[in-house]
Amino acid sequence: MKKWMNRISTLFLFGFSVIILFMSLKLKVGSLNNPEAGFAPFLASLLLLFLSAVILIKDFLSFAEADQKVPFITWKNLMKPINLMGALIGYGLLFTTLGYVTSTFLLMLAMFIIYESKKWMHKIITACIIAGISFLIFDVWLRVPLPKGIFDFSSFIKTWW
Amino acid sequence: MDVFGNVLYGFQISLQPINLLYCFVGVILGTLTGVLPGLGPSGTIAILLPITFNAPAVSSVIMLAGIFYGAQYGGSTTSILVSIPGEPSSIVTCIDGHQMARHGRAGPALGISAFGSFIAGTVGVIGLMFVASPLAKIALKFGPPEYFSLMVLGLIILIYLTQKSLIKAISMGAFGLILSFFGLDIVSGQPRFAFGLDELFDGVGIVPVAMGLFGVAETLANLEKTEEVKIFETHIKGLLPSRKDWADSIWPLIRGTTIGFFLGILPGGGAILSSFVSYAVEKKVSKHPERFGQGTIEGVAGPEAANNAASSTGFIPLLTLGIPANVVLAMLLAGLLIHNITPGPLLLKQHPDVFWGVITSMYTGNVLLLVLNLPLIGMWVQITKLPYRLLFPLIILFCVIGVYSINNAVFDIWIMLIFGAIGYFMKKCDYEPAPLTLAYVLGPMMEQALRQSLIISNGSFSIFFFRPISAIALVVAVFLLVTAFTGFAKQKRLQVVEGE
């Protein structure tokens, strides 16, 4: 699996460098005595293109026997990071709509569940407390304008405080 | 004003109650991040950068600096007690420090580590006071070619020190450089790589990128681990080293401090390199090299002194040349830039309060760390037992709010998540994030220096080789790359770590 992950990550860098290379040319590279906006990105993308090509070639030529001896990652281990990323993407999507307090409560609850799924009541109360206290710290004290959303719990917290 | 006058002026600033408070918070947070494996000073500084927006510039930088050198102190605690380095610069401390703990000598190991760190940190700060000012004056004579070559050297030294694939580390450096070019061109003001998104006209922010790479990616990686870290149960007694411990440690402390002092000044050098070199030197000069790896106090005193001296002198290239020696100092540079303070030779003239205030606060911070660390060692040990299930949601929450609060934009959260995912998968494939971050911070300065140099020389690259400082920096960089590719350096370092 590591071999494939390696190839995918290196292909990502390769593709990225190709895109930047063409965009730099479009920006105009200029000349050595008058370098323009695309000059430095062109050089950096050329270097990245070369290096990622070398890594890819090395990877295809090697049999990577050593990699197979060590278990790289299992689906069981990968589940928690994937779930956390899913929760964070959901948080990003709902952040302005639901508001800071509600979306943070849901994110906290999701993260507690991701780690272990016992003691539900305990988790709900802890998530509530963290969402409320963090709102007080950042919105009320540090004056970070956090989104209120459709469930405006923020005014309730402020009134209660 | 002479050095003493400047130092007095610096103390007037750093001893103001507000700055003392920031220094206190910084060293406490630094120790905490050093103690907690999985949350390094880079991540902490990234998380705290947005919070410092509304704080005075001097206070903010004092706090961020406190996090950096405080982490060196804290990192040794986990190395000695758990054999997990809280910081890469404490890797070497694991070898003999943990063995000392296993032999019932955790107290002297922690004690000599704290005292050694204090002595070395203080010597480093004193050196910083005397060296920084003359160096800043010399640096005024540097032109774009010197700056460009020194930045290349800094980047190459960092790449040279990476623990995994060298070619992948260089790739990450190139990737970081490209990312730093997003946004408006420094000369023409032409938008670059905006992909039709208005938010990218200002480029990709350092805070979302750093938080993604160090905060989110680290958390994702730590979530994979199913086993809980086992703390070595021991009764910590006798934190004050005995007379014999002092006698055994005094020369390693002096040598470690000297090594750390000089290696810390090198752009790209610093705490990690100096601790490895110090351990190798101690082993070499010892009459009983066979005791190394078995729990000898010299193996703790030398590297701990070295990494702390280096963390103080690491500020020299940052404050005088504007070149961060490592990724944590790169984050600190970002903190200075946020407050419209450009470190470099003119810093001393334009912002003497920042320059001398930060330097003298490091002395205050070292005293605070010694006073705090020894009596509170029990508390730090308890903190190492904090369950990760409680820690990681808080790290994520701080990342999210920290990133959002910069521009009050959800777009920055998306950037952080993208770099979190990139950082996680890249790390799995042996691509390290440190060269990316340093290259990202240095990128705009490197581009400006390169373009100016080429314009000055009428398009000839020979300008980099005909100017002595620039030529030396480039020759050293090439030498390091060649030795690194031949595998010699890696073998040497592995030998040190494995205690062969």
- Give the number of other CB atoms < 10 A from CB of residue A15: 12
> Does the pLDDT value for residue B40 go beyond 60?
yes
Mutate: best of B415, B425, B428, partner A, most A CBs <10 A: B428
Of A82, A144, A48, A100, which is closest to residue B406 (Cα–Cα)?
A144
Bridging pattern class, strands A30-31 and B191-192? unpaired
Please tell me which of the candidates A17, A20, A111 has its beta carbon nearest to residue B396.
Answer: A111
- In chain A, the N- to C-terminal Cα span, in Å, equals 52
Q: Please report residues of B whose CB lies closer than 8 A to that of A108.
A: 393, 397
Shortest distance, CA A45 to any CA of chain B (angstroms) = 7
B6: its two tokens: 């400047």
**Chain B touched by A5 (CB under 8 Å):** yes
**Chain B touched by A18 (CB under 8 Å):** no
Please tell me which of the candidates A35, A115, A143 has its beta carbon nearest to residue B451.
Answer: A35
How far is residue B124's CA from residue B269's CA, in Å, rounded to a whole number? 15
Q: Which residue has the higher pLDDT, B232 or B236?
A: B236
Distance of alpha carbon A60 from the chain centroid: 29
Q: What is the pLDDT of residues B331-364, one digit of tens each?
A: 888 888 888 888 877 887 888 888 888 888 988 8
**Chain B touched by A85 (CB under 8 Å):** yes
Q: Please report residues of A whose CB lies closer than 8 A to that of B193.
A: 20, 23, 41
Find the domain containing B462 and state its range: 3-499
Q: Do residues B383 and B28 make contact, with C-beta atoms less than 8 angstroms apart?
A: no
| Nearest chain A residue (CA) to B459 | A33
In this prediction, residue A138 carries a pLDDT of: 80
Q: Please report residues of B whose CB lies closer than 8 A to that of A42.
A: none
What does pTM read for this prediction? 0.78
Query: Based on the structure, what is the number of domains in chain B?
Result: 1
How far is residue A71's CA from residue A53's CA, in Å, rounded to a whole number? 26
**What's the per-residue H, E or C state across A97-131?**
HHCHHHHHHHHHHHHHHHHCCCCHHHHHHHHHHHH
CA-CA distances (angstroms) from residue A72 to A9, B218, B224, B332, B429? 15, 17, 11, 35, 10
- Choose the weakest-confidence range: A121-135, B75-89, B122-136: B75-89
Q: Please report residues of A whose CB lies closer than 8 A to that of B171.
A: 13, 48, 51-52, 55
β-bridge partners, B192: B183
How far is residue A122's CA from residue B156's CA, in Å, rounded to a whole number? 50
In this prediction, residue B134 carries a pLDDT of: 80
| Nearest chain A residue (CA) to B446 | A40
Reported ipTM: 0.89
CB pairs under 8 A between A and B: 159
CA dihedral B377, B380, B385, B391 (to 10 degrees): 180
pLDDT tier at B500 (50, 70, 90 boundaries)?
very low
Query: Do the chains contact at A20 and B460, CB–CB below 8 Å?
Result: no
How far is residue B424's CA from residue B214's CA, in Å, rounded to a whole number? 9
Q: Please report residues of B whose CB lies closer than 8 A to that of A16.
A: 175, 178
Query: Do the chains contact at A37 and B219, CB–CB below 8 Å?
Result: no
Query: Do the chains contact at B178 and A146, CB–CB below 8 Å?
Result: no
B145: its two tokens: 């070619």
How far is residue B367's CA from residue B390's CA, in Å, rounded to a whole number? 31
Shortest distance, CA B142 to any CA of chain A (angstroms) = 21
Please tell me which of the candidates A5, A40, A114 has its beta carbon nearest to residue B447.
Answer: A40
Please tell me which of the candidates A31, A108, A134 has its beta carbon nearest to residue B401.
Answer: A134
pLDDT tier at B51 (50, 70, 90 boundaries)?
confident
In this prediction, residue B498 carries a pLDDT of: 47
CA dihedral B64, B65, B67, B69 (to 10 degrees): 170
Query: Do the chains contact at B188 and A92, CB–CB below 8 Å?
Result: no
**What's the per-residue H, E or C state across chain A?**
CHHHHHHHHHHHHHHHHHHHHHHHHHHCCEECCEECCCHHHHHHHHHHHHHHHHHHHHHHHCCCHHHHHCCCCCHHHHHHHHHHHHHHHHHHHHHHHHCHHHHHHHHHHHHHHHHCCCCHHHHHHHHHHHHHHHHHHHHHHCCCCCCCCCCCHHHHHHHHC
**Chain B touched by A73 (CB under 8 Å):** yes
In this prediction, residue B175 carries a pLDDT of: 94
| Nearest chain B residue (CA) to A6 | B429
In this prediction, residue B37 carries a pLDDT of: 61
Q: What is the pLDDT of residues B58-98, one digit of tens each?
A: 898 899 888 888 887 777 877 787 666 666 677 778 788 88
